[in-house]
Amino acid sequence: MTQVTERGTPLQESPRHAAPRRRSPAAAACVLGGAVAAGLGLGFLAVLVIVLWISSPYPDSGPGGALHLAAGLWLMAHGTELVRYETLSGVPAPVGLVPLLLVALPVLLMRRAARLGSASGDAAGAEGDEVLPAGAVFSAVTCGYLTVGAFATVYAAGGPMPADPLSAAWHVPLVAVLAAAGGVWAAKGKQSGPLPEWVPGSVRRAVARPRYALALRSGAAGVLVLLGGGALLVGISLAWHGPEVQNSFLALTGVWSGRFAVLLLALALIPNAMVWGAAYGLGPGFALGAGAVATPLGLEGHAALPRFPLLAALPAPGPGSPLTWAALGLPVAAGLVVGWFAVRRAREVSYGETALTAALGALVCGLAMAGLAAASAGPLGSRMLAGVGPVWWAVGGAAAGWTLVLAVPLAVGVQVWRTRPVRSAAGGVEGDAWHDSGVRELRWEALRRAAEPLVAPAVEVPVAPPVVVAPVEPVPAVPVLPVAVVGARVLARRRPES
């Protein structure tokens, strides 16, 4: 009993007395990572503004004003409106036209911070510390980022172009939340599990169908076609109005630092120009102030816009020409692409299912273009420049309408072509039994038979019956004398007499 108790397996300790897991410092690291991501964005813009301020021959303010302006630009990269108080009329003018390329800076930094935070939480769990769930990582990174954002909003209030507090209160959290969610999702392997239990069962079963994945793919393809066509229209217009663009660029400033700043601003506005070009090809066009709209049918009204190289490529005022009418071929190409990508490969899909998938793809394309149009537009001042850029609801409706009218007939036509009966060599029509529905078992059987020469058949090994061993009677042991004793006796008998 003593040996069993000493050598046996020790009993497990009570959970009450078990050593608690050490709390991981990953939460603090995630908060710090979010703050560092915001600091890196602020630092990048601060360095850029300071370099331009140093190289400017006529700086308007000191380094403090440049740093305040950098904080305002960082907030503007999140979509926040800035307010310009130094105007000729004395009326404060809002500046809400956000360069979309500038938005990529906080998005990429925040997404990277969320991914690193998720990785640090997993590493802490491997070392025995507390593992942070995805929600905790998301909350910690967002908290650190928004803390720096609040300080930046207060600091920018003392600069020449402070941020609107109400605009910053929802734009900065929106960008931070979306970027952090994308980073955590990417760090967890892009898992797309089932919907929560509180979602109705009919909705969960409907979302699990493949039609929604095809609709997203076809809608994304249509958006890419529209944006690519918009970039093509902008490039053609810049090349067509080359002398005007060059004169506008050279007339803005005569020093190289100013021209470098104008070039950077033009590059940051290229995504906006792509969306404006797509809106122009869709038909609604874009507004150039109060009462001025540019469409393929012509430029109506008088555009009271500042001198800028990209704006110098606008069409001339007046009715359009066949060259501008050709831009309407862009939504036609987008609708055809949406219809092509909405068709499934399987032949057992009905025509109604194909038409519904194409319609959902058109809806996705319209919603995406509406969001991009809203993000690319904004005010450049008050009164005449209160609204510049495409109108989001008009662009979204036009994109959805064009693609719906063209995608649904094309998708159904492609489905009819793929499910057509196969003709024999004699000219007759054969039943295409290989692709008909309900014969999947026959197809697998044919594939198995075709693969028999390549795959060795499985050989069954016979199992031997169990062998019964008869009991053996125990044999009594014969005592054997030790060898050393026997040898000693023999040597004693052979010892010669002295």
- Contact call for residues 369 and 377 (beta carbons, < 8 A): no
What would the mean pLDDT of 44-66 be, rounded to a whole number? 86
pLDDT of residue 444: 64
Average pLDDT value for residue range 235-246:
92
Q: Give the mean pLDDT of 161-185.
A: 92
**Average model confidence (pLDDT) across the chain:** 80
Residue 89, pLDDT score: 73
pLDDT > 70 in the chain, percent: 73
Q: Where do we find the tokens 């060795």?
A: 456
What integer pLDDT is reported at residue 119 of this predicted model?
78
Instruction: Look at residue 16 in the predicted model and tell me its pLDDT.
Output: 47
Q: What is the mean pLDDT of residues 289-296?
A: 86
What pLDDT does residue 489 have?
Answer: 46
User: What pLDDT score was predicted for residue 317?
Assistant: 85
What pLDDT score was predicted for residue 82? 93
Q: How confident is the model at residue 304 (pLDDT cuts 50, 70, 90)?
A: confident
Give the residue, 233 or 195, on which the prediction is more confident: 233
Confidence of residue 18 (pLDDT cuts 50, 70, 90): very low
What local confidence, expressed as pLDDT, does residue 4 receive?
44
Q: pLDDT > 90: what percent of the chain?
A: 45
- pLDDT of 404 over the 90 cut: yes
Which residue pairs, CB below 8 angstroms and at least 24 apart, start in 25-29? 25/124, 25/129, 26/117, 26/120, 26/121, 26/123, 26/124, 26/129, 26/130, 26/132, 26/137, 27/132, 27/136, 27/140, 28/140, 29/117, 29/120
The four Cα atoms 263, 55, 94, 235 give a dihedral, to 10 degrees, of 0
Give me the pLDDT at residue 349, please: 76
Q: With 60 as the cut, is the pLDDT of residue 92 above it?
A: yes
pLDDT at 465: 62
Single pTM value for the model: 0.78
| Two tokens, residue 137 | 């990582």
Q: What residues have CB less than 8 Å from 249, skipping those under 6 apart?
A: 259, 262, 263, 309
Q: How many CB atoms lie within 10 A of CB 53?
A: 19
In this model, does residue 437 exceed pLDDT 60? Answer: no
- Mean local confidence (pLDDT), 123-133: 60
pLDDT of residue 63: 84
